[in-house]
Amino acid sequence: MTITNNHPGFGTATLEPPVDVRRRACSADEFSPLREIVVGRAAGAVIPQASDPSAWLTLYSHLDAGQVAAVDGGALPQQVIEESEEDLETLAETLRGLGVVVHRPSSVDHAAPFSTPHWDSASGMYSYCPRDLTLIVGETIIETPSPVRARYHELDGLRELFRGYLLAGSAWISAPKPQLRDSLYGVGRDGLPVLTEDEPAFEAANVLRCGRDLFYQVSTSGNEFGRIWLESLLGPQGYRVHPVRDVYPHTHLDSTISLLRPGLVLLNPSRVTEDNIPGPLRDWDRIWCPEMRETGVSATGQSLSSPWLGMNLLMVNPELAVVDSAQHELIARLERHGISVLPHTLRHDRALGGGFHCVTLDTVRDAPAGADYFG
Ligand code: NVA
């Protein structure tokens, strides 16, 4: 679609999608054959200061106030950035080689401070994890209301791409812009940070999509109010949003459950049990993830994720996965279930808090939107 607007006395504005956007965004699950994807960037990454209550809540929610006081934020060492950029480019090359169209976020100055009437943020964060803040449900691009103040402008890096998808025919919406006042951040009796129910707040990576069913993890990065908002949007369209409660309290769902193909799921045995497995998945075949091989937290000495990031894999199609090359036992188990593996490495995945699912955002997969995998 091309839009032309003749402004009197100003000239003609013609809007066209970027050259690499030729079709609308359409992605309804985690495993159907991949056609287009965003691969993140490490350049310019800044880790928010832990004195920011929203950073404590989502990056260090396993630490109490005393422990988090010792944590440093700020720019990452150049070596971490450069090696991560290399690893992301290698991933992008692999995907291009499979015929997938790869988009990259445009450059954003994450070091710039900013404020709202209610708070100041010393910096932004990064474009490393495009999965985190954008949820694509069928042909609708949803910007999610992250509780992290430093991430308020993060999607600037994907704006041009989303503008292109809109011109190509996708819907592009944002959840109610969160205010992120201090009252959204509490401290529990155990001394750990808590996300309150002040307003809808959640990150896209709290959600896994499976046709007309979505799994929404209630945690430090997604509250019940956020689930209610998502349900209010998608319920009338025939989607079912299943709450995942009391499984894993710290941020995202994708180091706990990976949907591999219809009828087959990978589960984290340290978090999922026979009692708390989300209802619709009870009838699926399960692969229990083996213990992760520790790959360390790299040059920064600090980690934004647990070792279970090793099960944060990307399905290219129901028979092919990109998996951390260090996770030999996991790779063997996937292969036994008929899934071939492309082993890849993200040397600083834990320092930056993102594995292969996190550092990507599948924008087009060949999948029937609204397919019922549990009917
Ligand atoms: N916070 C999660 C990572 C989510 C991708 C974990 O540490 O396991």
**One-character DSSP codes across 53-122:** HHHHHHHSTTS-HHHHTT---EEPPHHHHHHHHHHHHHHHHHHHHTT-EEE-PPP--TT--EE-SS-EES
If phi > 0 it is left, if psi is from -120 to 50 it is alpha, else beta; for residue 217 that is: beta
Indicate the burial class of 106 (C-beta count within 10 angstroms; 0-12, 13-18, 19 or more).
middle
Q: Which residues contact residue 8 at a Cβ distance below 8 angstroms, ignoring those fewer than 6 apart? A: none
pLDDT in tens, 91-146: 999 999 999 999 999 999 999 999 999 999 999 999 999 999 999 999 999 999 99
The answer to whether the beta carbons of residues 184 and 57 sit under 8 Å apart is no
Q: Between the CA atoms of 358, 359, 364 and 369, what dihedral angle is there, to the nearest 10 degrees?
A: 0
Q: What is the pTM of this model?
A: 0.95
What average pLDDT does the segment 147-170 reach?
97
State the DSSP H helix or E strand holding residue 333, giving kind and residue range, or none if neither: helix 328-336
Confidence of residue 73 (pLDDT cuts 50, 70, 90): confident
Cα–Cα separations (whole angstroms), residue 151 to 84, 132, 143, 181, 297: 20, 10, 12, 14, 23
pLDDT, residue 316, reads 98
- The tokens for 102 are 């790869």
C-alpha angle 173-133-213 in degrees, rounded to nearest 5: 75
Whether the predicted pLDDT of 20 surpasses 80: no
Best residue for ligand 1 mutational test, from 309, 314, 324 (most atoms within 8 Å of Cβ): 309
Instruction: Report how far residue 258's alpha carbon sits from residue 224's, in angstroms, rounded to the nearest whole number.
Output: 22
The dihedral built from the CA positions of residue 156, 204, 167 and 40, taken in this order, carries a sign that is: positive
For tokens 């026979």, name the residue.
274
C-alpha 315/C-alpha 78 separation (Å) is: 30
- Cα of 310 to ligand 1 centre, how many Å? 10
Give the model's confidence band at 1: pLDDT under 50 very low, under 70 low, under 90 confident, else very high. Answer: low
Span 201-229, mean pLDDT? 98
Closest CA to 199 of 234, 227, 231, 236: 227
Is the model's pLDDT at 2 over the cut of 70? no
Residue 303: the pLDDT is 86
Reported as a single tens digit per residue, the pLDDT across 304-356 is: 999 999 999 999 999 999 999 999 999 999 999 999 999 999 999 999 999 99
Residue 340 burial (CB count, 10 A): 12
Ligand 1 in reach of 303 Cβ (< 6 A): no
Output the average pLDDT for the chain: 94
Verify whether ligand 1 is closer than 6 Å to residue 308 (CB atom). yes
Considering all CA atoms of the chain, what is the largest pairwise distance in Å, rounded to the nearest integer? Answer: 68
Best mutation site among 133, 251, 361 for ligand 1, i.e. most ligand atoms within 8 A of its Cβ? 251
Is the beta carbon of 289 within 6 A of some atom in ligand 1?
no
- H/E element, 233: helix 224-234
pLDDT digits (tens, 9 = 90+) for 230-253: 999 999 999 999 999 999 999 999
Each residue's pLDDT tens digit, 34-53: 999 999 999 999 999 888 99
pLDDT reported for residue 18: 74
Distance in angstroms (rounded) separating the CA atoms of residues 144 and 124: 16
Query: 16 pLDDT band (50/70/90 cuts)?
Result: confident
Mean pLDDT of 212-226: 98
**φ/ψ (deg, to 5) at 195:** -90, 120
Does the beta carbon of 357 lie inside 6 Å of ligand 1? no
117 CA to centre of ligand 1 in angstroms: 31
* Token pair 């996190």 in the structure block, residue: 358
Domains, in order of start, for the chain: 25-365 (3.75.10.10)
Distance, in Å, from the CA atom of 21 to the CA atom of 314, rounded to the nearest integer, reads: 22
- pLDDT score at 19: 66
Q: pLDDT band at 297, cuts 50/70/90?
A: low
Q: Is pLDDT above 90 for 223?
A: yes
* pLDDT bucket at 299, cuts 50 / 70 / 90: low
Is any atom of ligand 1 closer than 6 Å to the C-beta of 252?
Answer: yes
pLDDT confidence of 298, banded at 50, 70, 90?
low
Amino acid identity for residue 308 in this structure: W
pLDDT, mean of residues 183-203: 96
